[in-house]
A and B are shown apart, each in its own frame.
Chain A
Amino acid sequence: MYASLPRFLLRRLLTGILVLWGAVTVTFFAVSAAGDQVDAILGPQAANLPGLRERVAAEYGLDRPLPVQYLDRLASLATGDFGRSYQRSQPVTRLLGSQILPTLQLALSAALVGLLLALIATVITAGRGRIVRTGTSVFEVLAVAVPPFWLGILLLSLFSFNLRWFPAFGSHGISGLVLPTLALAIPLAGVLAQVMRQELELVEGRPFVLSARARGQSRLGLLLRHTLRHALLPATTMSAWVLGTLVGGAVLVEKVFSRPGLGTVLVNAVQHRDTPVVSAVVILAALIFVVANALADMLYPVIDARLRETSRA
């Protein structure tokens, strides 16, 4: 599979573009199948005014045949044009541009903290007795079961309203980021720790672990130098899914913490059936998924020496 790295990366790039094209196509036809977009733009009151429908349809290019609209959509997306918001009548890119950074910031910090928590939990509990392991798996199952939006409410209630350690609203630099990050990171850490520990325990039965121990390698040295790499592999495979889930979860957590970001814009757009805005966010999320998958592919050889050897040959 890694016989030729450039060719492999090229193939992944093509698959990524295909997935993106599919994402654009699915959203386009879903939107046009869901009903007349002019109704969504005008709302129920204005829809019956004479001549207005035609004018609006012409303004948004909705009077053209569907295949033409589709090709036009593809062409404009290729140049980074996501169309115009029905509700605010301004380009979607301008509407989302200022809001996407706080959301990405939240999602990325949650990804880092989640991975860190999972690593700590894995290192501390690996190879321990039954009680410690049962305890952690109970904790992990709990962490996975807790929805981030409710964890956010718990953290707010405890640390903002009772202890007053952190601000309750808005995004005041780092201190405003701590609680929303934790709300997203703890459930994520639960998922990652489960997967990583399962892999770690599987690897610990391998002969090379026994031979390393026989050479006098300490338990910690073995973990850091050999086995933890194996545990990181499934986490790497999941990274694209993790980022997507975090962006989705961020929408809810932002609402709980009244943070600026995609959440507010998106929910407003969903309520007013502003499909260009919603499709743009969905397509951006698919783009993040594709890019994260590509990055994961490039990370595999860094983590796993076996893949490095073959790619050099």
Chain B
Amino acid sequence: MSATTAAFDTARPRWRATRGSHILLAISTLAVALIVALLLFPGVFAPYAPDTNDVQHTFSPPSSTHYLGTDQLGRDVFSRLVYGARYSVTTGLVATAIAVVAGSLAGLTAAAGSRLADALIMRLTDVWMAFPEVLLALLVIALIGTGSTQIAVAIGVAAVPYYGRLVRGQALAVTKAEYVEAAKILGVPAWRYVLRHVLPNVGGPVVVLASLGTGSAIAAAAGLSLLGLGPLPPTPEWGVMLAEGQTYLANAWWIAVFPGLAIVVVVLVSTTLGRSLQARSLR
């Protein structure tokens, strides 16, 4: 999460949209559509079931019958990756959704609330950001237990302050705009002009950050599963597959290498989408 956040923070307005960014936006949108299709209809893409053992063909290297090879039980790695997207990608999406909702609430409260509320929330985000995200996520898991849902909550909680900061900053800028001043003078209650005017204007940057953040949330979720804190084998979750495959790295590299490659592809798609959206909004 942080890697992309840092890149986001330092992006400068002089970075203009070019023709390249339109092409990248089109490609990444297509890729997102493809990932959504994988999530909804894995059976269409996967040639085998994710949990069919085939003791005749264990450890087969990648070939035309098994595109990405088979694992120690003869299960098709490609099919497992396709079905596993349901676990890995969904966990990252849920984590980001949690961070967006909680961060927006905190940021809007800080921007529209009293000076004291603002100071309290901002100091709390300072403290929050002093914890490295992986460690904070580990603390949350120690408190609420292991599992897919718990991992999503943990990663979401760790990312909240980045969204809170962004939303507060954007909201403060919007609140100074004349139409909001006008609404205030007309006696429109705070919750109402926040919902009507501030929130829609804050949305753009949040979508960009969420798009950048989803990729790293997916990578973080796979990392926590790799540590054995997520779903258990034989779930085809990508981090679990990595952990299982690592045992056989000496003679069957493909079992561990391809789940990681899947993570990299998803992170690249999410980063490219976020950046081309960002380039568009800065135009």
Closest to B267 in A: A145
* Chief secondary structure at chain B's binding surface: helix
Q: Would you give the 0/1 interface string for A256-300, flagging 1 where the beta carbon is closer than 8 Å to chain B?
A: 100000000011011101110011011001100110000000000
B residues at A contact (CB < 8 Å)? 2-4, 6-7, 10, 12, 14, 123-124, 126-128, 130-136, 138-146, 215, 219, 222-223, 226-229, 242, 245-246, 249-250, 253, 256-257, 260-261, 263-264, 267-268, 271-272
**Residues B142 and A234 in contact, CB atoms below 8 Å apart:** no
**Residues A286 and B131 in contact, CB atoms below 8 Å apart:** yes
Could you write out 28 A-B pairs with CB less than 8 Å apart? A18-B123, A19-B127, A23-B131, A26-B127, A34-B143, A34-B144, A147-B263, A149-B226, A153-B260, A157-B257, A161-B249, A198-B12, A241-B2, A244-B131, A247-B132, A248-B133, A248-B134, A251-B138, A252-B223, A255-B227, A269-B142, A275-B142, A278-B142, A282-B131, A285-B132, A286-B130, A286-B131, A289-B132
Q: Does A136 contact B (CB under 8 A)?
A: no
**Residues B142 and A273 in contact, CB atoms below 8 Å apart:** yes
The interface residues of chain B lying within 8 Å CB-to-CB of A157 are 249, 253, 256-257
Q: Does A180 contact B (CB under 8 A)?
A: no
- Nearest Cβ distance between residue B99 and chain A, in whole angstroms? 17
Closest to A251 in B: B134
- Nearest Cβ distance between residue B132 and chain A, in whole angstroms? 4
The interface residues of chain B lying within 8 Å CB-to-CB of A18 are 123
**Residues A267 and B3 in contact, CB atoms below 8 Å apart:** no
- Nearest Cβ distance between residue A153 and chain B, in whole angstroms? 5
The interface residues of chain A lying within 8 Å CB-to-CB of B138 are 251, 266-267, 270, 278, 281-282
- Nearest Cβ distance between residue A241 and chain B, in whole angstroms? 6
**Residues B215 and A145 in contact, CB atoms below 8 Å apart:** yes
The interface residues of chain B lying within 8 Å CB-to-CB of A267 are 138, 227-229
**Residues A145 and B268 in contact, CB atoms below 8 Å apart:** yes
